[in-house]
């Protein structure tokens, strides 16, 4: 009987990870001091989000189309790097808004992929949970589009709250608490209320990780928001754009 030697067993372990709070807190301090330190975001996620990633994959299998999505295991970042495909998406769609967003902000899916690999041994592991982690990473900017939160400090903090509600990942929770704690020092605008609303909007919305994103990208943006029960970001929208970076240097 063939036996798998210990050295040949997959090293990826997400079902019972050790929570690395010390490392996560150090990374949070870096992030709060430098909103461009996206590496710190991934370090926090790796330190605290393992269990939620595994649970998310199992939840996906229970959805109507999740079995097919999981079986196909498409690497969505590859599709997002296809300019011809992005250019084919109809005006007014989720994908058209995403296309404008990344080009105006000079972003790219492959840039996020490369940053996520820094110091991470298992990002590209051929394992269902690793794939779910990549899927969560790759839809981040699409969640910006769906939620209506921009890439300013407050927008990222609100999306972090939204993402915690959607994923249950403790890494998102830590960043949200850190951002809210810093925001409490500024009383000129309702920053904390905006972050809290981000969480509540994420909680009320349909579970976005169960979506067929290739199909969603062609859907009209307003119709997609209605179908997914993504309500308007009224508190965030009430804060002037020039004030959204004042006391919340968070980025992702």
Comparing 97-101, 110-114, 234-238, which segment has the lowest mean pLDDT? 110-114
Predicted local confidence at residue 204, as pLDDT: 98
The domain ranges of the chain are: 21-243
Which residues is 220 bridged to in the sheet?
93
Predicted local confidence at residue 120, as pLDDT: 78
Backbone φ and ψ for 175, nearest 5 degrees, come out as -65, -40
Comparing 23-27, 33-37, 140-144, which segment has the lowest mean pLDDT? 33-37
Comparing 10-19, 60-69, 103-112, 129-138, which segment has the lowest mean pLDDT? 10-19
| pLDDT tier at 184, thresholds 50, 70, 90 | confident
SS3 53: helix
| Residue 209 near residue 167 (C-beta atoms within 8 A) | yes
- The residue assigned the tokens 């019972």 is 16
Tell me which H or E stretch contains 194: helix 191-204
Model pTM score: 0.89
SS3 93: strand
| pLDDT tier at 183, thresholds 50, 70, 90 | confident
Predicted local confidence at residue 172, as pLDDT: 96
Predicted local confidence at residue 6, as pLDDT: 37
Distances 159 to 8, 72, 165, 211, 212 between C-alpha atoms, Å: 39, 28, 10, 18, 20
**Angle formed at CA 208 by CA 226 and CA 197, multiple of 5 degrees:** 70
Q: Is the pLDDT of residue 237 over 50?
A: yes
Distances 55 to 11, 52, 60, 65, 196 between C-alpha atoms, Å: 19, 5, 9, 17, 24
| pLDDT tier at 111, thresholds 50, 70, 90 | confident
Half-sphere exposure of 48 (CA within 13 A, CB side): 24
Q: Dump pLDDT digits (tens) for 117-162.
A: 887 778 899 999 999 999 999 999 999 999 999 999 999 999 999 9
**24 vs 245: which has the higher pLDDT:** 24
| pLDDT tier at 246, thresholds 50, 70, 90 | low
Q: Which two tokens stand for residue 35?
A: 């909103």
Buried b vs exposed e over 34-60: b needs ≥16 C-beta within 10 Å? ebebbbbbbbbbbbbbbbbbbbbbebb
Q: Dump pLDDT digits (tens) for 84-105.
A: 999 999 999 999 999 999 999 9
Q: What's the chain's average pLDDT?
A: 89
Q: Is the pLDDT of residue 7 over 60?
A: no
Contacts of range 114-122, beta carbons closer than 8 Å, 24 or more positions apart: 115/38, 115/39, 115/42, 116/42, 118/39, 118/42, 119/39, 119/43, 120/42, 120/46, 121/11, 122/11, 122/12
């Amino acid at each position: 009987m063939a036996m798998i030697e210990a050295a040949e067993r997959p090293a990826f372990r997400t079902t019972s990870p050790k929570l690395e709070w010390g490392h996560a807190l150090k990374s949070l301090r870096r992030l709060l001091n430098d909103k461009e330190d996206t590496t710190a975001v991934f370090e926090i996620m790796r330190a605290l989000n393992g269990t939620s990633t595994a649970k998310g994959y199992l939840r996906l299998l229970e959805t109507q189309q999740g079995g097919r999505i999981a079986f196909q295991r498409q690497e969505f970042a590859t599709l997002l790097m296809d300019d011809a495909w992005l250019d084919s998406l109809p005006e007014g769609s989720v994908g058209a808004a995403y296309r404008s967003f990344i080009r105006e902000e000079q972003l790219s899916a492959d840039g996020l992929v490369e940053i996520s690999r820094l110091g991470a041994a298992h990002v590209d592991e051929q394992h269902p949970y690793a794939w779910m982690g990549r899927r969560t990473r790759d839809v981040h900017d699409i969640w910006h589009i769906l939620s209506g939160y921009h890439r300013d400090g407050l927008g990222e903090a609100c999306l972090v709250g939204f993402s915690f509600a959607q994923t249950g990942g403790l890494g998102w929770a830590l960043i949200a608490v850190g951002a809210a704690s810093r925001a409490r020092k500024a009383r000129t605008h309702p920053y904390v209320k905006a972050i809290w609303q981000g969480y509540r909007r994420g909680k009320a919305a349909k579970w976005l990780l169960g979506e067929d994103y290739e199909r969603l990208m062609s859907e009209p943006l307003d119709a997609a928001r209605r179908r997914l029960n993504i309500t308007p970001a009224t508190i965030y929208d009430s804060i002037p754009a020039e004030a959204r970076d004042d006391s919340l240097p968070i980025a992702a």
